């Protein structure tokens, strides 16, 4: 059994506008992630990638299906056990600044998960772990007293990563963690994520629309289209010999979430469901 087992997950959202149809964001999605493995989820905007990432951590409840993380079916946990389980499964979002409290010093932000999950630790122990963590993510110790707004985007994302891994989770969801960063900084942050994974054997579910990023970081790739996984394959195999026609379109278009580039999909002529959707 894999560290993370997602099985037949269905999630429907009520329509955002009155009178519109509900959105079936996940239509029976199954996916597994092993210890030490990075599985990327790719697909165009609105295909359900973020919903899958959130469901995998029970940041939202699903309609049906099961998600097991390190032996616990997270949908079945009561509030107290779910809270404890959060030490084991964490998330890094796309916009570091939006996910950091602008009024808290960096040291306090990174310490917070430890204060919640490790009440046995003394203030001195927590402080020492925060200092070690700053070093590990490549930030100077002096940044502990700074506010998020005083750091660059890349440094802010290092803080987001430090906060996510300080409780030594076994499973990390990374939702476009480098999309808001400049290319050179992006490479550094990806290298940091790879290094952390190598040390701790964390399982990564890596949501992205950037083919270059996923080619570099992932072991396997799941391709999502309109709430379904249409193909899962080892990264090299997916790039060299994509099995599904939609994947081929994604690769040739070097998918962008930018709607102005959506016209690329008009060229797609895959199976009926996909063709109908791409021209809708």
Binding positions for ligand ATP, rule: CB under 6 A: 13, 16, 23, 25, 43, 45-51, 209, 257
Q: Which two tokens stand for residue 66?
A: 């099961």
CB atoms within 10 A of CB 84: 13
Three-state SS at 163: helix
Residue number with CB closer to ligand ATP (16 or 80): 16
User: For ligand ATP, which is the closer residue by CB, 53 or 160?
Assistant: 53
Considering the complex, state which of residue 126 and residue 207 has its C-beta at the smaller distance from ligand ATP.
207
Smallest gap from residue 231 Cβ to ligand ATP (A): 15
Select 81 or 212, whichever has its Cβ closest to ligand ATP: 212
Instruction: Supply 140's token pair.
Output: 């100077």
- Owner of token pair 């802010």: 156
CA distances from 180 to 95, 98, 176, 189, 190 (A): 6, 11, 8, 11, 13
Rounded least distance, CB 67 to ligand ATP, Å: 15
Give the shortest CB-280-to-ligand ATP separation in angstroms. 12
Nearest to 153 by CA among 130, 175, 185, 110: 185
Least distance from C-beta 92 to ligand ATP, angstroms?
Answer: 15
């Amino acid at each position: 059994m894999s560290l993370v087992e997602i099985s037949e997950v269905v999630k429907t959202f009520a329509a955002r506008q009155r009178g519109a149809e509900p959105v079936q964001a996940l239509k029976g999605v199954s996916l597994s992630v092993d210890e030490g493995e990075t599985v990327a989820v790719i697909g165009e905007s609105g295909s359900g990638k973020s919903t899958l990432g959130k469901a995998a951590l029970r940041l939202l409840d699903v309609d049906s299906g099961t998600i097991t993380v390190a032996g616990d079916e997270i949908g079945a946990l009561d509030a107290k056990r779910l809270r404890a389980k959060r030490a084991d499964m964490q998330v890094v979002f796309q916009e570091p600044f939006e996910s950091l409290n602008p009024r808290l010093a960096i040291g306090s932000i990174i310490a917070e998960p430890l204060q919640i999950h490790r009440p046995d630790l003394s203030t001195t122990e927590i402080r020492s772990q925060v200092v070690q963590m700053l070093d590990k993510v490549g930030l100077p110790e002096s940044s502990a007293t700074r506010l998020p707004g005083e750091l660059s985007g890349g440094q802010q994302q290092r803080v987001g990563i430090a906060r996510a891994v300080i409780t030594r989770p076994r499973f990390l969801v990374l939702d476009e963690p480098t999309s808001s960063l400049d290319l050179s900084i992006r490479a550094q942050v990806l290298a940091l994520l790879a290094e952390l994974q190598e040390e701790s054997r964390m399982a990564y579910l890596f949501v992205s629309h950037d083919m270059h990023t996923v080619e570099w970081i992932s072991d396997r790739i799941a391709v999502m289209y309109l709430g379904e996984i249409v193909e899962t394959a080892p990264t090299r195999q997916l790039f060299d010999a994509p099995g599904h026609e939609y994947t081929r379109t994604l690769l040739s278009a070097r998918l962008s979430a930018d709607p102005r580039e959506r016209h690329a999909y008009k060229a797609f002529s895959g199976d009926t469901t996909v063709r109908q959707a791409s021209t809708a």
